[in-house]
Structure 1
Amino acid sequence: MADGEHTTGEILIVTGMSGAGRSTVANALEDMGWYVVDNLPPQMLRPLLDLSGLAGGALPRVAAVVDVRGGSLFTELPEVTRALRGARQQLRVVFLDASDDVLVRRYEAVRRPHPLQEDGTIVDGIRRERGRLASIRESADVVIDTSDFNIHQLASHVVELFSESGAARHTLTILSFGFKYGLPVDADMVADMRFLPNPYWEDDLRALTGEDAAVREFVLAQAGAADFLDAYTAAVTPVLEGYQRENKRHSVIAIGCTGGKHRSVAMAAELGARLSAVPGVAVRVMHRDLGRE
């Protein structure tokens, strides 16, 4: 190693919408042993990484919370991040998001103004912030939609994503959902199960869910179900392998049907079982809308 060069451990940049849970994420990371720096100007990222290199094993994992509180300095985050990515393979950007109505409710609950609200409303501040963060969200390694999380669920989610347990190089979340409740905003890939007959129209299956054996057997027996699973597994496998080569540590595959109760639940579970065989990938299956109808 040449003079002036230092190796670092894992570096995490936490950013995103105000009110989406940055403080909760920072606290969870700190509880797991990360060295967390809050409200860091992007221009200070390189000195921080140099410091972590000088510290050697004393700072193996560093998380920096960067957001619009940095004012005009924050606009340089994309440029700083691009400059660091080439030399810092362990650098990842985590973007926290939530729906506008959820963000409004959170601000109203704490009775605080949005940092970009100025003389307008909370909604005005949220819109301004979304505009400023659009390119950052697009280039983020991990996008977490916190709309349906309370602080405890979000903290648990962070532990699952960023703990050191296991040897997986990539964490894949397979998320079933109902189209009538909206697309998951953090999905990397989306598949539509509405090409399969709906168990809802079977009297003996209507009250059951895709977690019940009878529904699962009904769905998997339909024409096209097995073909889809075979073809989709084959198509996604090289994507997951590529994600690992590119150091993308987390992705979400959203599997949808009308209400997120029958077809998507059954197919998500089956797809999860198949993709669990991909080397280096840890798979977890979640059902966003199960129980909503």
Structure 2
Amino acid sequence: MNAHDRDGATVSTGTTADTTGEAAGIPELVIISGMSGAGRSTAAKCLEDLGWFVVDNLPPALIPTMVDLGARSQGNVARIAVVVDVRGRRFFDNLRESLADLAAKKVKRRVIFLEASDDALVRRFESVRRPHPLQGSGRIVDGIAAERDLLRELRGDADLVIDTSSLNVHELRAKMDAQFAGEEEPELRATVMSFGYKYGLPVDADLVVDCRFLPNPHWVPELRPFTGLNEEVSGYVFNQPGAKEFLDRYTELLQLIAAGYRREGKRYVTIAVGCTGGKHRSVAMSEKLAHRLVSEGVETVVVHRDMGRE
């Protein structure tokens, strides 16, 4: 994954998808932003390959103009992706005004934010021997800190946050494909991610579930080598007092939350399910929870972040 994007403003169009059959009108809009080195260019390239009209480094004040031009294309530009980053930092004051303008025009828009840990970003910049755009005469970490502060409000408003700290280019593309490759967008998409608390909380989690109240299969010698994907391990977990009841009650809670997300126009949610090591209890609970969400009509992806760790 590159630690920097291309210099200057560039415009490109995808060639692998045919949009001539899509209805004319106001185009769908995706705004890609996030930390420098977190994979904005990879995310944009993925959308380009899916047939989106991609504009790199467009000043936020010009986003409504770009959408208006797309609306005049008679359906030839039905989906636009705009990369907004710190190279246009003098225009960030105009971003909220532009988003309000888009909302008034009832433009269907989403904000995708690419995130990564400081350690991951430092490694990426050092590997390509490039300075951070905001470090000036300071260190790379100074530039990263300044950028986090600048983008904090935008991150909070994002519809989807993707943490790329442990992802390679192919894994990031797979995440983007999972979100955008479908012909029709569902009302709500969920990612259920199992994790181990000893490895830290997922930074892109919207909701966190703690399964450490259940007995740990790690202490059962015949179950220790397996994971929560194993039927015996899953059976052990859900035969414990409170396990099935917890799954039932939390599913009911998610139904309430999902209804609120839909009303607020939030289309993505990441549910992090944790246990100590991220191998047994959280994996079993994630699989059952994802199955429940699918049965409720929520398109769901399951990710086991720490299952392969020792």
Same fold (TM over 0.5): yes
Separation in structure 2 between the aligned mates of residue 30 and residue 77 of structure 1, nearest angstrom:
23
| Correspondence for 2:242 among 210, 221, 224 | 224
Please name the residue that 1:9 is paired with: 27
Whether the aligned pair in 2 keeps the contact of 1:89 and 1:247 (CA below 8 Å) is no
1:275 CA drift (Å): 1.2
Separation in structure 2 between the aligned mates of residue 188 and residue 84 of structure 1, nearest angstrom:
25
Please name the residue that 1:282 is paired with: 299
1:170 CA drift (Å): 1.7
Separation in structure 2 between the aligned mates of residue 167 and residue 289 of structure 1, nearest angstrom:
29
| Correspondence for 1:175 among 193, 201, 211 | 193
Q: What SS is found at the alignment partner of 2:173?
A: helix
| Correspondence for 2:38 among 16, 20, 35 | 20
Instruction: Decide whether aligned partners of structure 1 residues 275 and 71 sit closer, same or farther in structure 2, where only a CA change above 3 A counts.
Output: closer
1:167 CA drift (Å): 5.5
Residue 81 (1) aligns with residue 81 (2): no
Q: Please report the RMSD computed on the Cα atoms of aligned residues, expressed in angstroms.
A: 1.4
Separation in structure 2 between the aligned mates of residue 245 and residue 56 of structure 1, nearest angstrom:
30
CA displacement 1:27-59 (0-9 Å, x = unmatched): 000000000000000010010011111113111
Whether the aligned pair in 1 keeps the contact of 2:278 and 2:306 (CA below 8 Å) is yes
Please name the residue that 1:3 is paired with: none
1:166 CA drift (Å): 5.2
* Aligned pairs for 1:258-273 within 5 A: 258-273=276-291
Whether the aligned pair in 1 keeps the contact of 2:25 and 2:75 (CA below 8 Å) is no
Separation in structure 1 between the aligned mates of residue 27 and residue 260 of structure 2, nearest angstrom:
22
Structure 2: state its 5+ residue gaps: 1-23
Please name the residue that 2:309 is paired with: 292
After superposing the two structures, state which structure 1 stretch, 82-91 or 215-224, moved more.
82-91
Match for 1:228: what amino acid?
A: F
1:148 CA drift (Å): 1.1
Match for 1:57: what amino acid?
A: G
Q: What SS is found at the alignment partner of 1:57?
A: coil
Residue 110 (1) aligns with residue 128 (2): yes
Structure 1: state its 5+ residue gaps: 1-5
1:278 CA drift (Å): 1.5
Work out the number of aligned pairs and report it: 287
**TM-score between both structures, scaled by the size of structure 2:** 0.89
After superposing the two structures, state which structure 1 stretch, 69-78 or 43-52, moved more.
69-78
% identity of equivalent residues: 52
Q: What SS is found at the alignment partner of 2:266?
A: coil
